[in-house]
């Protein structure tokens, strides 16, 4: 079992870092009052405003921010400003022993998937897949329901997802219990063949992505299938695939056809339609905790991520 970080309390300080691409600083500024409303103080990472092409500073600078926030006893949680690209570039140089000795809330998604997976593997820490400050919170379309999901950091409670939140569709029936893992499909595919290759044996796998055409989603799922990631998986949660439409629809499968091809009656529970990912609302959840996917009743139940 992974270590659960301690819950946040009003008055705590959270660190803000940019492990990937430079965030939109205007949106980031607009997001900070939200953290203040939660009763949190903010400590900015040194490279948050840095720009190095498509990276928020050098690999060394972004890595130093990550290490500094985990090491700083004043900082009780870490929230990523945004995603983009670049977190995987320094994953092999992270001091996982430092993180293991200083377990704390770590929150983000998209490109942060690589870090969720790496930290889960080598620091054995529960981390959180949820909306980021510049990418989500600071935008006008950020919904109150998405904001309420931060409540799970302050009080341990079970999360329940059913069709009152969004329309769900069962592709393969049954009930599965297992550790919830996964995140962004592109980033999960990027772990294959590395020491960070994600494990699905007995796990409930979450996948989501954005801007990928159906054939690209097909390509990634095919690679996961060839890597035998679906052979001993306990169940599959299909999150939001925003803007995943074909540029030439008359010459393409739909995304629904792709999912049907891989998962229809696969023999383990598979449900699609969860508002998890690059969407509003964005249902946040802990990774590395026990969950139950009931495909027959179309529900997902997740144990708390903090203690």
Which pTM value belongs to this model?
Answer: 0.98
Q: How far apart are CA 98 and CA 265, in angstroms?
A: 43
Spell out a b/e string for 203-233, using b for 16 or more CB atoms within 10 Å of the CB, else e. Answer: bbbbbbbbebbbebbbebbeebeebebbeeb
8 A C-beta contact, residue 171 and residue 270: yes
pLDDT by residue (tens digit) across 75-132? 999 999 999 999 999 999 999 999 999 999 999 999 999 999 999 999 999 999 999 9
| Alpha-carbon distances, residue 203 vs 133, 179, 181, 197 (angstroms) | 29, 5, 7, 14
- Which domains does the chain possess? 13-153 (3.40.50.10740), 159-302 (3.50.30.60)
Does 172 qualify as catalytic in the annotation? no
Residue 155 annotated among the catalytic residues of the structure:
no
Q: Which of 146, 186, 278, 284 is catalytic?
A: 278
β-strand 105-108 against 75-80: which pairing, if any? parallel
In tens, the pLDDT along 135-163 reads 999 999 999 999 999 999 999 999 999 99
As averages over each run of 10 residues, the pLDDT of the chain (307 residues) reads 96 98 98 98 98 98 98 98 98 98 98 98 98 98 98 98 98 98 98 98 98 98 98 98 96 98 97 98 98 98 98
Catalytic residue from among 18, 20, 21, 110: 110
Q: Which of 208, 212, 244, 284 is catalytic?
A: 208
| Residue 208: active-site member | yes
């Amino acid at each position: 079992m992974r270590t659960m970080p301690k819950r946040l309390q009003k008055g705590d300080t959270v660190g803000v870092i940019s492990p990937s691409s430079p965030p939109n600083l205007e949106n980031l500024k607009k997001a900070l009052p939200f953290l203040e409303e939660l009763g949190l103080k903010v400590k900015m990472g040194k490279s948050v405003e840095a720009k190095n092409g498509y990276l928020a500073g050098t690999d060394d600078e972004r890595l130093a921010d990550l290490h500094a926030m985990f090491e700083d006893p004043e900082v009780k949680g870490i929230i990523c400003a945004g995603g983009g690209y670049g977190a995987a570039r320094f994953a092999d140089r992270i001091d996982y022993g430092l993180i293991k000795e200083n377990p704390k809330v770590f929150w983000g998604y998209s490109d942060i998937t690589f870090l969720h997976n790496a930290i889960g593997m080598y620091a054995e820490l529960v981390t959180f897949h949820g909306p980021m400050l510049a990418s989500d919170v600071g935008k006008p379309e950020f919904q109150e329901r998405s904001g309420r999901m931060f409540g799970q950091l302050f009080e341990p409670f079970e999360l329940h997802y059913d069709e009152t939140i969004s329309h769900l569709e069962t592709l393969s029936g049954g009930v599965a219990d297992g550790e919830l893992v996964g995140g962004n499909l592109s980033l999960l595919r990027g772990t294959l063949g590395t020491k960070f290759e994600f494990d699905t044996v007995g796990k409930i796998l979450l996948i989501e992505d954005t801007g990928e055409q159906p054939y690209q989603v097909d390509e990634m799922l095919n690679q996961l299938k060839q890597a035998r990631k679906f052979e001993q998986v306990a169940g599959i949660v299909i999150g939001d695939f925003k803007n995943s439409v074909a540029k030439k629809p008359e010459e393409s499968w739909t995304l629904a056809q792709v999912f049907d091809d891989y998962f229809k009656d696969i023999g383990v529970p598979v449900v699609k339609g969860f508002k998890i990912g690059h969407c509003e609302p964005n249902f946040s959840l802990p990774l590395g905790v026990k969950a139950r996917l009931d495909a027959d009743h179309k529900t997902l139940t997740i144990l708390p991520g903090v203690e």
